[in-house]
């Protein structure tokens, strides 16, 4: 069990187990639970991500061999709110105690709070509380930047009307860490008629120039309608 911000939209789940990389699918809750149970009963490896509450998620794994390393990658998107022009990113670190209304239903388990008549899943959403001065093991590390790849795939992919001019502008305010992957994606879609403005005197200038040269080299870009490279 782990928390996420208050209004996330989970859009991806990848499980890496050994040398296998399994990409999850987003389906209705009841359908995913049924698929998980069938897979578990059949003895196959399976992963299930459930949203228990707006901020609480449950990750389940089954049929994992002892000693096997498993890596779970969960991706989500959220809207960052602005306060007087200042944006803040808040990531919760724990699932805190909750108010559990209702009378005890008699069911007990590993959760901190037992199930009640009004909250029959209290056991699932109330994990044990760490003892004082005990490290809970929830260390995190992070890196920050502008995620360009999804937008680039959306802009360059899909169907294109040959009677219309498509212009894709690459603009970033700083360092581009996955520039080689982005250039490779641009190269695969270089048949699109597009060009790139570059940002002057920034760490991204070389990236923007390379992206533009890749697009400009495509035959479909060798026309009088091609947009010019401009400095911002």
- In angstroms, rounded to a whole number, what is the distance separating the alpha carbons of residues 199 and 207? 10
Name residues whose C-beta falls within 8 Å of residue 15's C-beta, 6 or more positions apart in sequence. Answer: 21, 22, 24, 47, 61, 70, 71, 72, 73
What count of residues does the chain have?
232
Q: What is the pLDDT of residue 110?
A: 59
Let me know if 148 is exposed, middle or buried by CB neighbors in 10 A (0-12, 13-18, 19+): buried
- In the structure encoding, which two tokens stand for residue 207, read together? 């990236």
- In the structure encoding, which two tokens stand for residue 41, read together? 């009963």
- In angstroms, rounded to a whole number, what is the distance separating the alpha carbons of residues 55 and 37? 24
Do residues 117 and 102 lie in contact, with contact meaning Cβ atoms separated by under 8 Å?
yes
> What are the tens digits of pLDDT across the range 20-75?
888 888 889 899 999 999 999 999 999 999 988 888 898 999 999 888 899 999 98
Pairing of strands 9-17, 82-83: unpaired
- In angstroms, rounded to a whole number, what is the distance separating the alpha carbons of residues 183 and 188? 9
- In angstroms, rounded to a whole number, what is the distance separating the alpha carbons of residues 229 and 169? 10
Q: What parts of the chain have a pLDDT lower than 50?
A: 193-200, 203, 221-232
Q: Provide the 3-class DSSP secondary structure of residue 184.
A: helix
- Cα angle for residues 130, 131, 136 (degrees, 5° grid): 40
Q: What is the pLDDT of residue 218?
A: 55
| Strand locations in the chain (E) | 2-3, 9-17, 20-23, 46-53, 56-62, 70-77, 82-83, 86-87
- In the structure encoding, which two tokens stand for residue 149, read together? 């790849």
pTM: 0.59
Sorted by where each begins, the domain ranges of the chain are 2-78, 149-221
- In angstroms, rounded to a whole number, what is the distance separating the alpha carbons of residues 227 and 207? 18
Residue 71 phi, psi (nearest 5): -120, 125
């Amino acid at each position: 069990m782990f928390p996420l911000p208050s209004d996330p939209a989970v859009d991806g789940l990848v499980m890496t187990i050994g040398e296998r990389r399994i990409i999850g699918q987003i389906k209705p809750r009841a359908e995913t639970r049924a698929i998980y149970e069938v897979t578990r009963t059949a003895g196959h490896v399976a992963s299930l991500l459930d949203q228990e509450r707006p901020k609480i998620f449950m990750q389940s794994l089954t049929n994992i061999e002892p000693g096997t390393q498993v890596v779970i990658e969960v991706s989500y998107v959220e809207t960052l709110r602005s306060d007087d022009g200042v944006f803040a990113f808040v990531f919760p670190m724990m699932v805190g105690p909750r108010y559990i209304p209702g009378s005890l239903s008699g069911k007990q388990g590993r959760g901190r709070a037992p199930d009640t008549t009004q909250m029959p899943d209290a056991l699932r959403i109330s994990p044990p509380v760490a003892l004082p001065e005990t490290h809970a093991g929830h260390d995190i590390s992070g890196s920050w930047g502008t995620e360009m790849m999804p937008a680039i795939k959306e802009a360059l992919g899909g169907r294109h009307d040959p009677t219309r001019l498509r212009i894709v502008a690459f603009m970033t305010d700083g360092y581009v860490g996955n520039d080689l992957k982005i250039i490779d994606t641009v190269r695969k879609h270089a048949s699109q008629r597009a060009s790139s403005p570059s940002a002057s005197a920034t760490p991204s200038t070389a990236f923007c120039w390379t992206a533009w040269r890749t697009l400009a080299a495509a035959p479909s870009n060798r026309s009088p309608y091609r947009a010019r490279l401009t400095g911002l």
